[in-house]
Amino acid sequence: MAIDYNERIPNNVDLADNRRLQRALEAWQPGYLDWWGEMGPSDFSQADVYLRTAISVETDGWAHFGHVKMPEYRWGIFLAAPEADRHIAFGAHKGEAVWQEVPGEHRATLRRLIVTQGDTEPASVEQQRLLGLTCPSLYDLRNLFQVNIEEGRHLWAMAYLLHAHFGRDGREEAEALLERRSGDVDKPRILGAFNEATPDWLSFFMFTFFTDRDGKYQLASLAESAFDPLARTCRFMLTEEAHHMFVGDTGIQRVVGRTCELMKAHDTEDVAPHGGINLDTVQRYLNFHFAVSIDLFGGEFSTNAANYFSAGLKGRYREEKIEDDHVLATAHYSVPKLEGGVISESEEAALTVINERLRDDYIEDCEKGIERWNRVIRESGFDHVLRLPHRAFQRAIGQYREAHFTPEGKAIGDAEWSARKDEWLPSEAERAHVISLMQRVVEPGKFAGWIAPPRRGINGQPIDFDYVHLG
């Protein structure tokens, strides 16, 4: 399915055949561009960036690479190709034909799901808007901008669904997506993780590894939806989301690799005086970002999640590969449960712990990435091991939110938490040190001293390619 770039709004949804919808989106477009100008990457509107642009939604040859000024990027609306004779795969409507229009009884719920997902997209751009000023290399600067551009397009995808299927309510919600601001006291973004500051590149890499990985699982769940336009939208968004996680995964690998080089060169684990980031610091940043990100899955025991599943609105990760009846009326699933200050495994009705099953899939995926980081440490000759904290650590949502736990999952009191939290979370001094390292490097092929070069360049280009023309 090719995309027509001659249109004012590039799309593969035959927008030209729906003049009313086209006019509504063209009326929304100036507000989007104003938002990008205000909240997009700071000070880089005239830079030519080596960006990937979607030209098709087919698996092969779907993207074009070339230097583009970001304000001139052709954002648009791209849905994955329709699946012939697709039927609902789960819930009470299993086996029925998928919906092309929103059923009236699910209108409010679907709108809320789309708005919540849509709100995360501009939020991450806002969180990252100043990072270009302290980029460790042109390679990394380009990757930041690619993430930003695609988050902007994902906002377009959600705004399209709101305009196309929810009438005046949808148009108002799409406007509100441009009005909220990450971290704003009066108009914050909907989810807590998207109001956190991202003041440095270590935080950015952690965000793209952990928080964008949450995005992967949320999008994959929505890609199972009985509402076919939402499912098709999310399937294509997942194609772009993979790069965001790659940026975080390889970014941390490179930080860890450079730290190991400095540990060898100076025969010390404390590389901070030598312009590096200690592995203990990496662990504390990891702890923080993991805890913030797993909160995004919601409470462990959730009537809302059960209702979404039963109604066919939101499935599980890779729903059709799971070997059960996909209805879950009598099924059970084992989850950790906090009772009397003790965490133990409990068999619960599978419908009520949909969120926790998705969190399990997410944690397993995160473990694979951390093993790649640990392999770098082992191959450098050190026995330090990075670990995911326990899922109960530093939680603000769900059954653990009123208690304190160590990264190993041991319950502790308020006094011990206050005395020891800087062992487990970045202190103000530690964050200040990381920020002090954020010195801008923009000579092609050169990298800041706290991060190693990547193994290869982008799209077959050399590492010293001029990825961003700063002018």
Reported confidence tier of residue 362, pLDDT bands at 50, 70, 90: very high
| Domain contains 8 | no
Dump pLDDT digits (tens) for 309-332.
Answer: 999 999 999 999 999 999 999 999
How far is 53 from 69, CA to CA, in rounded Å?
Answer: 12
Secondary element (H or E) of residue 462: none
For residue 412, count other CB atoms closer than 10 A to its CB. 13
Residue 454: strand, helix, or coil? coil
Token representation of residue 123: 């939020």
What pLDDT, on the 0 to 100 scale, is given for residue 217? 98
CB 287 within 8 A of CB 392: no
What pLDDT, on the 0 to 100 scale, is given for residue 61? 74
| Domain contains 1 | no
Relative to beta strand 404-405, strand 468-469 is: unpaired
11, β-bridge pairs: 4, 77
How far is 307 from 221, CA to CA, in rounded Å?
Answer: 14
Contacts of 21 (CB under 8 A, 6+ apart): 15, 163, 164
Dump pLDDT digits (tens) for 202-218.
Answer: 999 999 999 999 999 99
| Domain contains 463 | yes
How far, in Å, are 278, 288, 291, 356, 428 from residue 284 at the CA level?
10, 6, 11, 24, 12
DSSP structure string for 33-54: HHHHHHHSSTT-TT-EEEEEEE
Relative to beta strand 63-69, strand 332-339 is: unpaired
Reported confidence tier of residue 2, pLDDT bands at 50, 70, 90: confident
Relative to beta strand 342-349, strand 404-405 is: unpaired
220 pLDDT exceeds 90? yes
| Domain contains 145 | yes
Mean per-residue pLDDT, 446-467? 97
Q: Note down the domain range covering 171.
A: 15-469
How far is 66 from 49, CA to CA, in rounded Å?
Answer: 8
Reported confidence tier of residue 4, pLDDT bands at 50, 70, 90: confident
| Domain contains 10 | no
What pLDDT, on the 0 to 100 scale, is given for residue 5? 82
What pLDDT, on the 0 to 100 scale, is given for residue 471? 73
What is the domain count for the chain? Answer: 1
Residue 275: strand, helix, or coil? coil
Mean per-residue pLDDT, 386-406? 97
Strand runs labelled E in 365-428:
404-405, 411-412
137 pLDDT exceeds 80? yes
What pLDDT, on the 0 to 100 scale, is given for residue 58? 83
Percent of the chain as helix, strand, coil, to the nearest 5? 50, 10, 40
What pLDDT, on the 0 to 100 scale, is given for residue 89? 98
Q: What is the CATH number of the domain that holds 158?
A: 1.10.620.20
Mean per-residue pLDDT, 243-258? 98
Q: What is the CA radius of gyration of the chain?
A: 23
60 pLDDT exceeds 90? no
Q: What is the mean pLDDT of the chain?
A: 97
1 pLDDT exceeds 80? no
How far is 381 from 206, CA to CA, in rounded Å?
Answer: 24
- Express as a percent the part of the chain with pLDDT over 70: 100
What pLDDT, on the 0 to 100 scale, is given for residue 59? 74
Mean per-residue pLDDT, 293-297? 97
How far is 82 from 370, CA to CA, in rounded Å?
Answer: 36
What pLDDT, on the 0 to 100 scale, is given for residue 291? 97
- Express as a percent the part of the chain with pLDDT over 90: 96
